[in-house]
Chain A
Amino acid sequence: MSTSPVREFRRSLRRVDATSSVVEPAGFDAALADALEEPAVGAPLPFADLSLSDHPVALDPSPRELRAARTGVTGSRLGIADLGTVAVESRGGGDELTALFPERHVVVLRASDVRPDLESAFAWLAEEFDAGRDSLVFETGPSATGDMGALVQGVHGPEAIHVLVVDDE
């Protein structure tokens, strides 16, 4: 019995306390507008047909904007279905910082980029490393700590993650 990878991905996201939604490409702008809490900062999306330019999202923000932003938007080229993991790449547009400073991280990800498990993600990683794209972070659920005597989400990173899956299949 096989489940669709996107369905499993969304179930895993729920398990790690992240939210998600699925939209057709045509519905992307509306869905993103829903997911944003302003002020927002963003890094350019790594997809030719999707852009943040029509949204109230500061690209290349100043440190003050970065610090004040409630939402950070990045595009991801990898989701891991059975873990609820997304990849945040180290790019010149500052994806890493955008994903880390604001309390809410909105991830834009294409359905075709959801891979089943860590093993298949590492197969993808090996190709990426070969291509010289060798700095990234696997992010799974909100930043968390148990060091203060109970589990608290939102430590040095975001306390909420929303993954916007664009159904390109």
Chain B
Amino acid sequence: MSETDAGRLASLVSRARSRAARPDADADRIRRLLAEEGDQIKANTRHFNAERYDRIDEIGAERHERYRTRAREIKADAIERLPELIDRVRESVADNGGTVYIADDAADAREYVAEVSEGADAERVVKSKSMTTEEIDLNEGLEARGLDIWETDLGEFVIQVAEESPSHIVGPSLHKSREEITDLFEAQFDPEESLDSAQALTEFAREYLGERIEAADVGITGANFVLADSGSIALVTNEGNARKCASVPDTHVAVAGVEKIIPSIEELHPFAELIARSATGQAIPQYLSLLSPPVDTPAVDFDSPDEPGFGGSDAERDFHLVLVDNGRTEMREDDDLRETLYCIRCGACANSCANFQSVGGHAFGGETYTGGIATGWEAGVEGLDAAAEFNDLCTGCSRCVNACPVKIDIPWINTVVRDRINRGKDPGLEDVLVDGLVPDAEEPGTPLRKRFFGNFETVAKVGSATAPVSNTIASLTPVRRALDAGLGIDVRRELPAFQRETLVEWAEGRATVDDPERRVVLYPDVYTNYVQPERGKAAVRTLEALGCAVTVPDVGGSGRAPLSQGMIATARDKAERLAADLGDHLDAGRDVVVVEPSALAMVRREYEKLLPAATYERLDDASYEVFEYVYGLLENGAAPDALTAGDGDGVAYHSHCQQRTLGLESHTVAVLEELGYDVLTSDVECCGMAGSFGYKSEYYELSVDVGESLADQFEDTDRTVVASGTSCTDQIEALLATEARHPIRLVAP
């Protein structure tokens, strides 16, 4: 070995070690946040989330869906026409008597606002809540110029006093309890009376900030929407502080990302319907302000307290709209990140996210933004490194997909960014070890652990062929320790046990129904085939009992495992191969029935991104979740007598996150009820296992924390526990020490 080689090897080893050290640091941070902020975050986000469901129920899912469709169309069109709309805003604001400034980056925006403030001889600036000003570090920039800045939104005020960063896009101080705020304020302000209630704290803040607003020279707001035709801004608040900041001082600066522009007042309507309902579960915010500054409202001169006419100020109102680019033009040109610009920052993706509910935005967030969509924002605004800090906290459960008021495919953005992060890693020792051993299509550099989980199909194939010896070896303590040290697979998790006879082997040469009603391909997804063939057999028996001829072909994985690791090239390979293999069956007039919901969701959702449109549509149309299919057969006259009836037996059912996003929970419930089972369903967003996520050492405790909410619901039940996903059954069995099966095993003859 030459000296250079030795040096290179040493550097590779040290780099591999430093990478291996990261999970420990992550584990410590997550453990601390679970303990310190988890309870508060959980209570607040779940409250918002539950309220969101209630308000949508009130107006009806169909109407809500109509607004979402329209809102997305408007955003897609506006981003497409952005340069033209920017020109239009410049004109309309100038016609109104204001000024538009396009800031290329954060420094440019800070400098402009500082100059405007200095031009107004300002000493004090008051602000209403704005994530964009957080993004550009405006407060720090103005403070450095000697200005006195006060946040007037109470949540932002708490964060300002505590010198912390926001933990949530909508509720920046969601992680703080009332008691913590009392301690903080009493230590900071030394008030005469104790601030030991929310009422007392609010009154104190109102007085304290009221004085500062009255003495302010400049008011800074954000803008939730900018209307190009009229040069208006729309502001959404519940406290009324944005209105005060915009109307009391005679200088108003509104800072917003360029993506906030929509054409006119007409296009605002769907957003007015959606934003508060999605954010906090309110039909409408307390204050929806539409201002086309400079406004006619007189500025108030508190320096002339006894002068009528609000102090008789004769100063002309001055208005500046600062539109911040800061990476957005590049995002607009990026086919995968573009949708991020549709985001209206309601926080629904955070509230509907089981991981976020447990750990909050101080873990699930970057420099500025938090929650599911934060990956897109941080990757676009700050760069991949900022997104890499928390990207793995998205498990792709997809619960945010239906929550998003503009239908952004947030899991896809997270997957694409994960893929880019993988590719950005330097090839290292890991690749020397594994290249050629794993049949993936990834470039060197993709972390070893991701390649291990991403190639789960290969692991399962080998594990099954050598079972039960492979299971015994895998459960040996030294092997588990090695897996933990090398791959970060937590020793506290039980590994899946591979079955010696796969579902495909069982089905081979088996006689099925003659003269069938329908012909079916039961898709042997990796989990059903190698780990839980019993549920596959139950599905075959059920379908046959209902008059279907069933084939279980020897076809490959759906690509879910590699996709969840951000290995898009490998996932696409799998998708193409599966589509080709199943294509022959579709030609023969067969329907495709899928047991594992995560595999079905690949075909129904992600294949749209991975396959040519015609191929995707054909497969999407022909594929069904197993209970969806059974439901359809029963609806079309198949006799349920052949199945195992419930006779009033109690069942506790946890559907699968991705299955629910596809709207397929209700079919299982309907079939079970038709067969006489008494069904209780869980109401958590996700079980917390999410494929490989719960196996990873640094996420084990978070995964268990999320799972506890599900376990709590089913803990004292004497019902039979069933769940549709492999991950879900693994998680339930680990936390409840009870058997959990796929519901098809209950009803199969």
Interface on A for B, CB 8 Å cutoff? 60-64, 66-67, 83, 85, 90-92, 94-97, 100, 118-119, 122, 125-126, 129, 134-152, 154-157
Contacts and interface: CB of A to CB of B under 8 A. Distances in A.
B383 to A, nearest CB: 31
A129, A141, A145 pick with most chain B CB within 10 angstroms? A145
A148 B205 contact: yes
Contacts of A90: 247, 291, 295-297
B171 interface: yes
B284 A62 contact: no
B192 interface: no
Nearest to B291: A135
- Max chain A Cβ within 10 angstroms of own Cβ: one of B155, B266, B268, B297: B297
Given A97-B247, A97-B298, A156 B210 contact: yes
Given A66-B310, A94-B297, A129-B230, A138 B202 contact: no
A152 B198 contact: yes
Interface string B121-161: 00000000000000000000000000000001111011000
Contacts of B297: 90-92, 94-97, 135
B158 A154 contact: no
A141 B276 CA distance: 14
A137 B287 contact: yes
Given A135-B291, A135-B292, A156 B310 contact: no
Contact of A135 (B232, B287, B300): B232
A143 B238 contact: yes
Contact of A156 (B209, B268, B290): B209
Interface residues of B, number: 68
Given A125-B265, A143-B238, A157-B243, A149 B154 contact: no
Interface in B241-256: 241, 243-244, 247-248
B452 interface: no
Contact of A143 (B178, B268, B286, B289): B286
26 contacts: A60-B310, A62-B305, A63-B300, A63-B301, A64-B306, A67-B214, A67-B305, A94-B297, A96-B247, A97-B247, A122-B266, A122-B269, A126-B266, A129-B265, A134-B230, A135-B291, A137-B243, A137-B290, A143-B238, A146-B44, A147-B153, A147-B155, A156-B152, A156-B210, A156-B213, A156-B244
Nearest to B152: A156
B173 interface: yes
B336 to A, nearest CB: 33
Interface in B170-186: 171, 173, 176-179, 181
Given A92-B298, A152-B199, A63 B311 contact: yes
A123 to B, nearest CB: 9
Contacts of A138: 272, 284, 287-290
B206 interface: yes
B283 A83 contact: yes
B178 A100 contact: no
B293 A135 contact: yes
A124 to B, nearest CB: 11
Contact of A140 (B177, B179, B286, B311): B286
A94 B310 contact: yes
Given A90-B296, A145-B239, A148-B198, A97 B177 contact: no
A62 B307 contact: yes
A140 B282 CA distance: 10
A135 B285 CA distance: 17
Given A97-B247, A118-B269, A147 B158 contact: yes
A156 B240 CA distance: 5
Nearest to A125: B265
Given A96-B295, A138-B290, A157-B240, 17 more contacts: A61-B310, A62-B304, A63-B306, A85-B284, A91-B296, A122-B265, A125-B265, A135-B232, A135-B290, A135-B293, A140-B286, A145-B202, A145-B239, A147-B153, A150-B197, A155-B241, A157-B286
Nearest to B232: A134
A62 to B, nearest CB: 5
Contact of B201 (A119, A143, A149): A149
